[in-house]
Structure formats: structure tokens, C-alpha cells
């Protein structure tokens, strides 16, 4: 049935427009036009706010009570995708943090099957580790962190060729320039993270093909006056970098500095765990207890272990606490991540022929409604 959404400003993925009508039919956007020119059909009036493309999250460790781990199947990935769609992220990269080779292989198989089934919201996989730097392990299990070997490389390259998108987070100390080049040649997005790297080491990895960075500021060498570290290198090289905008992982003042230094390159991630979209107050990760308290997820020793965050909340934080222009904050959760994983044709924008994955954000930048394939989820 044709439905016409009216009453909200339109963000098309690039620009924030005035009030527009968005015509949806057959699960796709048919047209965007002035309200006065809208054709006949069922009308839904949105009370102000902004109608935007469905949000895209490139770092999602779990949701709806389920984690991405070695027991994950295509059905589990579908549950996680569905949980995040209800939270506004209608396209995600389910993310496996450092685990065994067997777990990595199992998740890759599940991801390939999810892609074959065209699971709604599944855009590919993100493998965050195990090829990291134990000096910047964060909540990753140090017993499982290890350098990349030839078997790992072959597995990852094969996955990159079969998945819609594959992001691999690694540290320069754990992967050679030749391995990074091979991953890029296979189509993987190579993201630098969890690394105590010097500026020279980070630049060498970027020269080899690393083209992204994982959760800027967190679990990486910091900017210093004599050694720029990974943070300084990422900002000066202006490679795309994920940002956990919850004012816990990164202070608002640090976010302002990053936005000033690299205004076109940053994008938002939730780094969500299984508690997202659930009432869970704790869970286990690799046999370790994770506590959910006052907007934080931590190990029992206080180490941050993912985030208790949704992308609409991150947009709200950027606009209201950091002072980022709405047009930029919205792009950081839509068109920018879509471009990074080369998914512009299927996600991240609103226009005729596009899948009707949409979110309505209220005037105070809170999640109002969600549509996936034209179906109302919230």
C-alpha cells in the first residue's frame, strides 16, 4: 500500500531540506517532493523532527540478548540485525571481537549464509581482532590475541570475496604490510585499532592499504607533542574513523578537537553489546562478567567493555553536547558509513528507487519511528 510520510524535514543522506513528503510504495521510496504536490494515498503526519535514511552501524557486537561469537548462526545474526533495526540502525556489520580461529571461521560461515538469505539489515561482518596489540587489549582476552599467519590471511581474503563487506580491525604490530596489501586486494576494509603504534608505524600501515580506524581515541596510542601516536596520525591522514559518541568513551571536548581536525572523515558507531534492545543488567564475555551500570558496560575491574549506546543517542550527543551541525551528525550515521563499505547503492540515502529504510528523529533528536523495507518497526 502506498504511504506518504509528511510533516518532517528531510535529510536525504547529504543535505538537510525543509519539510517534504516521502512517498513509499512496495517497500521502496517512490518520490520525495513538496507536501503540496504529494499524490493520493495513505498519509502519516510526523510531528516535526527529521526523516532520515535508516542508520548504519559498522561495529555491533550484539543486541537483543545475543552476542556475535563462535556459536553464531545466520539466524542469530538475523536476530541481532532485527534488534538494532528497532533501535534505528537498519543496516549493520555484526562484529566478532578477538576469539579463536574456530570461532572466526564459524562467524564467517554464518555471515556468508546471512548474505545468501538476504537477511534484512545485514551488510557484512566486522572482525575486531584477534590480530591486535596486547598492550592495548581493552576488554579483549589477551590469551587469544596473536599475530596474523598465512592461514588467517587466506581465511580473511576468502571471506572478503564472499561477503557484501568485511571490515578487519588489526594492529600494525600484528600484521605485515604485505598482509595488509593482500587484504585490501581481496576487498576487505582494513581498520587500525587496539594498537600502541608510533606515528611511523601507523603511517606505514596506511601506506600499505589500511583505510579506516576503529573507535578513535579508545585502545590506541594517544596524541603527544613529540610522538603523534595513532590518534594524531589518524587525524592528520584523515582516514575514516569510527567514533563512540557517548561522552564516556570520548570526552565532548576531545570530540570537538577531532571534528575540527578531520571534519569529513569521522563516522558514528555504537560498539553495542548483547544488552542493546534488552533489559539485561549483566552478561558474560569470554567467561568474564560484564556489568551494565549508569550507561556503562565494564569488566568487574572497571575496564570499558563495549558501549551501552544506540546511534540515535550518539547523534543526540553530537548535536546537543558537542555542537556538531545536524547535517554532519546525520551523515556520520548514514551516508559516510555506507560509503566506507561501498554500500551506497543499498543504504545511507533517501531517493526514488531506494529501499524504504527510514528513521524519524524528533525535534529533540530522539528516536521516533523506524521503517525497514517500508514496514513500521517502531
* Lookup: cell for 250: 570520548
Q: Name the band, by pLDDT with cuts 50, 70 and 90, for residue 135.
A: very high
User: Would the pLDDT of 16 be above 80?
Assistant: yes
pLDDT of the residue at 160: 98
Question: In sequence order, which residues have a C-beta less than 8 Å from that of residue 361 and are 6 or more positions away?
Answer: 49, 50, 52, 312, 315, 367, 368
User: Would the pLDDT of 378 be above 80?
Assistant: no
User: Would the pLDDT of 225 be above 80?
Assistant: yes
User: Would the pLDDT of 233 be above 80?
Assistant: yes
Report pLDDT digits (tens) over 316-331. Answer: 999 999 999 999 999 9
Q: Which of 133, 271, 308, 313 is catalytic?
A: 271
- For residues 253 and 123, what is the distance between their CA atoms, to the nearest angstrom? 32
Tell me which residue of 102, 106, 57 sits closest to 84, measured CA to CA: 57
pLDDT of the residue at 25: 95
Q: Name the band, by pLDDT with cuts 50, 70 and 90, for residue 120.
A: very high
Domains of the chain are 3-52+349-376 (2.30.40.10), 55-340 (3.20.20.140)
Q: Name the band, by pLDDT with cuts 50, 70 and 90, for residue 138.
A: very high
Report pLDDT digits (tens) over 271-314. Answer: 999 999 999 999 998 888 999 999 999 999 999 999 999 999 99
For range 14-22, the mean pLDDT: 96
State what percent of residues in the chain have pLDDT above 70: 100
User: Would the pLDDT of 339 be above 80?
Assistant: yes
8 Å CB contact between 92 and 103? no
Report pLDDT digits (tens) over 149-199. Answer: 999 999 999 999 999 999 999 999 999 999 999 999 999 999 999 999 999
| DSSP 3-state of 84 | helix
8 Å CB contact between 275 and 333? no
User: Would the pLDDT of 232 be above 90?
Assistant: yes
Instruction: Look up residue 136 and give its DSSP letter.
Output: G
Report pLDDT digits (tens) over 189-211. Answer: 999 999 999 999 999 999 999 99
| Cis geometry, peptide bond prior to residue 130 (ω within 30 degrees of 0) | yes
Report pLDDT digits (tens) over 52-107. Answer: 999 999 999 999 999 999 999 999 999 999 999 999 999 999 999 999 999 999 99
| DSSP 3-state of 337 | helix
Q: Name the band, by pLDDT with cuts 50, 70 and 90, for residue 242.
A: very high
- For residues 128 and 285, what is the distance between their CA atoms, to the nearest angstrom? 14
* Range scoring the smallest mean pLDDT among 127-136, 221-230, 283-292: 283-292
User: Would the pLDDT of 270 be above 80?
Assistant: yes
Q: Name the band, by pLDDT with cuts 50, 70 and 90, for residue 1.
A: confident
Tell me, yes or no, if 149 is annotated catalytic.
no
Q: Name the band, by pLDDT with cuts 50, 70 and 90, for residue 41.
A: confident
For range 248-252, the mean pLDDT: 97
Cβ burial of 284 (10 Å; 0-12, 13-18, 19+) is exposed
Amino acid at each position: 500500500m502506498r504511504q506518504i510520510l509528511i510533516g518532517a524535514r528531510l535529510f536525504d543522506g547529504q543535505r538537510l531540506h525543509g519539510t517534504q513528503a516521502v512517498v513509499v510504495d512496495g517497500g521502496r521510496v517512490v518520490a520525495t517532493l513538496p507536501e503540496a504536490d504529494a499524490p493520493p494515498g495513505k498519509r502519516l503526519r510526523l510531528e516535526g523532527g527529521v526523516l532520515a535514511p535508516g542508520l548504519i552501524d559498522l561495529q555491533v557486537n550484539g543486541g537483543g540478548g545475543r552476542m556475535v561469537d563462535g556459536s553464531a548462526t545466520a539466524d542469530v545474526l538475523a536476530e541481532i540485525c532485527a534488534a538494532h533495526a528497532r533501535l534505528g540502525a537498519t543496516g549493520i556489520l555484526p562484529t566478532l571481537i578477538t576469539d579463536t580461529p574456530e570461532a572466526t571461521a564459524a562467524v564467517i560461515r554464518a555471515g556468508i549464509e546471512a548474505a545468501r538469505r538476504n537477511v534484512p539489515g545485514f551488510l557484512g561482518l566486522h572482525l575486531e581482532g584477534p590480530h591486535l596489540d596486547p598492550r592495548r587489549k581493552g576488554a579483549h582476552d589477551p590469551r587469544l590475541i596473536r599475530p596474523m599467519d598465512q592461514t588467517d590471511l587466506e581465511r580473511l581474503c576468502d571471506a572478503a570475496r564472499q561477503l557484501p563487506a568485511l571490515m578487519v580491525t588489526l594492529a600494525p604490530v600484528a600484521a605485515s604490510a604485505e598482509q595488509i596489501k593482500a587484504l585490501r586486494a581481496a576487498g576487505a576494509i582494513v581498520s587500525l585499532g587496539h594498537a600502541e603504534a608510533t606515528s611511523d608505524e601507523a603511517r606505514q600501515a596506511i601506506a600499505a592499504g589500511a583505510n579506516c580506524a576503529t573507535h578513535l581515541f579508545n585502545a590506541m596510542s594517544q596524541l603527544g607533542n613529540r610522538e603523534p601516536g595513532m590518534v594524531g596520525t589518524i587525524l592528520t591522514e584523515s582516514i575514516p574513523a569510527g567514533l563512540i559518541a557517548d561522552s564516556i568513551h570520548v570526552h565532548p571536548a576531545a570530540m570537538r578537537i577531532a571534528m575540527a581536525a578531520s571534519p569529513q572523515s569521522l563516522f558514528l558507531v555504537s560498539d553495542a553489546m548483547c544488552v542493546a534492545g534488552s533489559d539485561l543488567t549483566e552478561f558474560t564475555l569470554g567467561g568474564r562478567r560484564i556489568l551494565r551500570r549508569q550507561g556503562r558496560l565494564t569488566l568487574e575491574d572497571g575496564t570499558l567493555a563495549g558501549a551501552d549506546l544506540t546511534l540515535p543517542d550518539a547523534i543526540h550527543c553530537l548535536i546537543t553536547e558537542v555542537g556538531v551541525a545536524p547535517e554532519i551528525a546525520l551523515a556520520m550515521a548514514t551516508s559516510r558509513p555506507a560509503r566506507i563499505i561501498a554500500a551506497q547503492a543499498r543504504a545511507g540515502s533517501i531517493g526514488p528507487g531506494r529501499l524504504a529504510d527510514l528513521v524519524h528523529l524528533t525535534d529533540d533528536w530522539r528516536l521516533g519511528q523506524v521503517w525497514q523495507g517500508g514496514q513500521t518497526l517502531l
